[in-house]
Structure 1
Amino acid sequence: MTVAASRRPRSRWGLFIAPVLLLILAVAWSGFWFYATSQAEVAADAWRAQEAKSGRIYDCARRSIAGFPFRFEVQCSGASVSLVSQTASKTPFTAKLDNILVVAQVYDPKLVIAEFTAPATLTDGVTQTSFVVNWSKGRSSVVGLPAVPDHASIVFDDPTINRVDGSVQVPVAKAKLVELHGRLAEGSSRDNPIIETVVQIAQGSIQGVHPLLAEPFEAGVRSKITGLKDLTPKPWPQRFRELQAAGGHIEIVQSRIQQGEMIAVAAGTLGISPNGRLDGELQMTVAGLERVIPALGIDKMLEEGVPQATLDRVAPGVKSQDLNNLFGALDRAIPGLGKVVKQNANVGVAAGINALGTESTLEGKKARSFPLRFADGAVMLGALKVAQLPPLY
């Protein structure tokens, strides 16, 4: 037998094995991707139904899923959120958003990133007051889905809030940057979780409340919330009731506010009274307090007369007529004395606040340390009532 006769034709099947396997893998991957997207829609619908039972109703005018082959991209156009029974007053609140894009990678489905397209319109269901919220960039990230998130963040660049007054938008608030971060610090989502939150505001300002708040400020607050039973969806008033019944509290671990030369830091613990209002005490240290007092305009307020509503807020029990009569009596006794007292009111108030605490140092500057008390929603600076907070439930 010759060498040529002993040769056999080579099989060509080996040339097709790799392409066939690749085709099978592509078909299998495509089936997996489409099955996963259908399951994602089912999970999203189940989550929306669960949230609706808690008074938070989410909806999309148009929803689509794309991103094949390695991503899930969910587009929600004409998004809306209706909040019902989320506050003590049970005031309904609606937010409408142009578009939300939610992205997850196939290989890491527990990390979900979302981008929000401005503007958003917020409407108070009782007064029908509307606000327009704008931003240059809005995004969020959630870790831990589809279970209850372990960590969540939301960040807005250049946010602004304007109140709609007819055809005019009136500025309400703005900032260069707003960040909110939350994470599960201890426990589990289903058993006594402890939540840690961080809020950061850069170059924030609030218009129309007081000239002092219209000046840009920097703020940062880190807190821990204890006393929650779990993190299952439920209305916030119900969650606050559970926290109060369990003796839970909100610990302000660290906070700092700076506005010009004024710097304030505070830390302490706040609980919830049986009436649903904040109770507790923060220890504050403030540098540059003498710069804040004149900005409050106390001398001008006294010169123009003190409204009873203002006295009820800052000095309960003092009558406006009595105070005005006092200044009139001073002027009658010694002409001009009442005016002198009014013009030096800021000095007296500053001295009174300085007497509340102790001398201290903050970031190399002279400062005062004193307690800021919360008594059933009333915010007290010594014996002076500076604010009244609404109930949480």
Structure 2
Amino acid sequence: MSDMTVAAGRRSRWGLFIAPVLLLILAVAWSGFWFYAASQAEVAADAWRAQEARSGRIYDCAKRSIAGFPFRFEVQCSGASVALVSQNASKTPFTAKLDNILVVAQVYDPKLVIAEFSAPATLTDGVTQTSFVVNWSKGRSSVFGLPAVPERASIVFDDPTINRLDGTMQVPLARAKQVELHGRLADGSSRDHPVIETVLQIAQGSIQGLHPLLLEPFEADVRAKVTGLTDFTPKPWPQRFRELQAAGGHIEIVQSRIQQGDMIAVAAGTLGLSANGRLDGELQMTVAGLERVIPALGIEKMLEEGVPQATLDRVAPGVKTQDLNNLFGALDRAIPGLGKVVKQNANVGLAAGINSLGTESTLEGKKARSFPLRFADGAVLLGPIKVGQIPPLY
């Protein structure tokens, strides 16, 4: 065998080792990069927690770990807790605790962060010491645009339920098939004066203990736009709302639709904040099937049992309970049983009064009424009738 043949054989054998060696070097370099990036992720997480804590939102984990090598980061937070210390005037913390949070980011797309939440969660109001248990079958969220100002974010819960703890008993408060909340920076929005577009969707939602109307499942789809924000700096919500009011900010309800059985309601308009931190503004509503809502208001039963003044102030400001009692008593003295007849037909009269508001319309092929729903310093007014009162936001 010639010398040239031997040399060629040696070169060919060396070529067999080049690819594995390069692959090994690449693997070592990638491993170093991953572990360095993982350590930096922990540093960034600690810095974010410290920044949030300065604004009164304290996040903690009983145990935290990072995995996901080689192509993604998985941050596991077991025994997660959140304490909102300065979100109200009393400075009393509102706390939330849940079993586990898993946060995932791909190495090749670190701006997109996805999280999964393990149920249940326990919420405690530090002012009233009332506790709630929140459950769900699946909870997840996503945020795009980190570590800078997020461009969009979403959170979705399947089969969520909220129960109030009464000793060892859990009293049902609310439930739904699914709840979704999405938000994003509006196109053309500047970072120093951001405009946020939001979508809230509730499927088969129901609320117990507030009003019989809310017991029957409903569907909701609300699309809104928030203006008047000055920045995304973490800060207490009362401070955020004050700044929004001072800047003349508002919430524009671009489109909303609520359906409950045969009743369908759509609304659009603009809501702002008064100097007292209460809602001000007006929504133009169109409602189909309004007549089915009237019996659920319980006017007849309310009149039969006697109307508490607080309730009367809510549904008919300026009318006194004694005035009603005197009226029904006088009717019964004039014609026995007449007062009862009037009470029993109260729903009919109220329906006729509400139907006289606004104008006739058509909604999704059904007869409907269009009328304004006004908010005056927190009071909710359907025409001249006060139907609710919203507490101040700060």
Q: Given the two structures, how large is their TM-score scaled by the length of structure 2?
A: 0.96
CA distance in 1, matches of 2:40, 2:223: 37
d(CA) in 2 for partners of 1:124, 1:70:
41
Change (3 A) 1:359 1:91: farther
**Residue 321 to residue 2, structure 1, CA distance change in 2 (3 Å):** closer
Shift of 1:326: 1.2
- Structure 1 alignment gaps of length 5 or more: none
Compared with structure 1, are the counterparts of its residues 20 and 89 closer, same or farther at alpha carbon in structure 2 (3 Å cutoff)?
A: same
Change (3 A) 1:14 1:324: same
Deviates more, 1:347-356 or 1:219-228: 347-356
The 3 A distance-change label for structure 1 pair 244 and 5 is closer
Q: Structure 1 pair 211/19, CA: closer, same or farther in 2 (3 Å)?
A: same
How far is 1:184 from its partner?
0.6
Closer/same/farther in 2, CA of residues 128 and 7 from structure 1, 3 Å limit:
closer
What is the distance in 2 between the residues matched to 1:141 and 1:23? 35
- What is the rounded CA distance, in whole Å, between the counterparts of 1:31 and 1:65 in structure 2? 15
1:46-69 CA deviation, whole Å, 9 max, x = no partner? 111111111111110000000000
Alignment match, 1:3? 6
| CA apart distance, 1:92 | 2.4
Give how far 1:363 is off. 0.3
How many pairs does the alignment contain?
A: 391
Task: Measure how far apart 1:319 and its partner are.
Answer: 1.5
Aligned-partner Cα distance in 2 for 1:188–1:295 = 44
1:189 and 1:232 in contact (8 A); partners too:
no
Aligned to 2:230: 229
> Greater CA deviation, 82-91 or 128-137?
82-91
In structure 2, distance between residues paired with 1:70 and 1:304: 68
Q: Map Cα deviations across residues 350-384 of structure 1 (whole Å, 9 max, x no partner).
A: 11111111000000000000000000111111111
The sequence identity of aligned pairs, in percent, is 90
Cα deviations by residue, 1:92-136 (Å, 9 ceiling, x for unpaired): 211000000001100001111111100000011122111111111
Q: Which moved more, 1:226-235 or 1:187-196?
A: 187-196
User: Which deviates more, 316-325 or 372-381?
Assistant: 316-325
When residues 4 and 143 of structure 1 are mapped into structure 2, their CA distance, relative to the original with a 3 A threshold, is closer
Stretch deviating more after TM superposition (202-211 or 278-287):
202-211
C-alpha spacing 1:364/1:91, structure 2 compared with 1 (3 Å): farther
Tell me the distance in 2 between the aligned counterparts of 1:81 and 1:370: 42
1:189–1:231 Cα contact (<8 Å) kept: no
* Counterpart position of 2:272: 271
Residue 343 to residue 28, structure 1, CA distance change in 2 (3 Å): same
In the alignment, the residues of structure 2 paired with residue 3 and residue 60 of structure 1 have an alpha-carbon distance, to the nearest angstrom, of 64
| Alpha carbons of structure 1 residues 5 and 359: separation in structure 2 relative to 1, 3 Å | closer
Shift of 1:297: 1.1
- Please say which of residues 236-245 and 197-206 is displaced more in the overlay: 236-245
| Alpha-carbon contact 1:283-1:370 (below 8 Å) kept | yes
* Cα 1:332/1:99, change in 2 over 3 Å: same
Shift of 1:171: 0.5
Structure 1 pair 346/7, CA: closer, same or farther in 2 (3 Å)? closer
Residue 190 of structure 1 and its aligned partner are, at CA, apart by 3.2
Q: 1:90 to 1:290 in 2, by over 3 A?
A: farther
- CA 1:35 to 1:189, structure 2 compared with 1: closer, same or farther past 3 Å? farther
Partner Cα distance (2:278, 2:332) in 1: 43
Do the aligned partners of 1:262 and 1:289 also contact (CA within 8 Å) in 2?
Answer: yes
**CA, structure 1 residues 309+298, in 2 after alignment: closer, same or farther (shift >3 Å)?**
same
How big is each residue's C-alpha offset from its partner over 1:200-220, in whole Å with a ceiling of 9 and x where there is no partner? 000000011122111111011
Range that drifts further, 46-55 or 217-226: 46-55
CA deviation map 1:250-301 (0-9, x unaligned): 0000001100000000000001111111110000000000101011110110
Contact preservation (8 Å) 1:187, 1:193: no
Equivalences for residues 223-302 of structure 1 within 5 A? 223-302=224-303
Distance 1:329 1:42, change over 3 A: same
Decide whether aligned partners of structure 1 residues 90 and 318 sit closer, same or farther in structure 2, where only a CA change above 3 A counts. farther
Whether the 8 Å contact between 1:374 and 1:380 is mirrored in structure 2 is: yes
CA contact (8 A) 1:185 1:196 kept: yes
- Match runs of 1:38-187 below 5 Å: 38-87=39-88, 90-187=91-188
Q: Return closer, same or farther for 1:6/1:251 CA change in 2, 3 Å cut-off.
A: closer
CA pair 32-7 structure 1, distance change in 2 beyond 3 A:
closer
Q: 1:148 touches 1:189 (CA, 8 Å); kept in 2?
A: no
For 1:379 and 1:233, the matched residues in 2 are separated by 31
How far 1:5 moved relative to its partner?
Answer: 13
Q: Distance in 1 between matches of 2:102 and 2:389?
A: 40
Q: What's the CA shift string for 1:35-90, capped at 9, x where partnerless? A: 10011111111111111111111110000000000010000000001112224565
SS in 1 for 2:20: helix
- Asked if structure 2 preserves the Cα contact closer than 8 Å seen for 1:218 and 1:258, the reply is yes
8 Å CA contact retained: 1:79, 1:97? yes
Q: Is the 8 A contact 1:186 1:193 kept in 2?
A: no
Distance 1:106 1:333, change over 3 A: same
SS for the counterpart of 1:31 is: helix
Larger displacement relative to structure 2 (110-119 or 12-21)? 12-21
Structure 2 gap ranges (5+): none
Q: Is the 8 A contact 1:293 1:350 kept in 2?
A: yes
Provide the secondary structure at the position in 1 that maps to 2:188.
strand
Q: Does the CA-based 8 Å contact 1:156-1:177 persist in structure 2?
A: yes
Higher deviation after alignment, 12-21 or 354-363 = 12-21
1:4 Cα deviation (Å)? 12
CA deviations on 1:319-369 (whole Å, 9 max, x unpaired) are: 112211111111111111111111111111111111111000000000000
The structural deviation recorded for 1:2 is 12
The answer on whether the counterparts of 1:114 and 1:141 sit within 8 Å (CA) in structure 2 is yes
Change in 2 beyond 3 A, CA 1:188/1:24: farther
Residue 186 of structure 1 aligns to a residue in which SS?
coil
> What CA deviation, in whole Å up to 9, does each residue of 1:134-178 have, x standing for no partner?
111111111011112111000000000111111111100000000
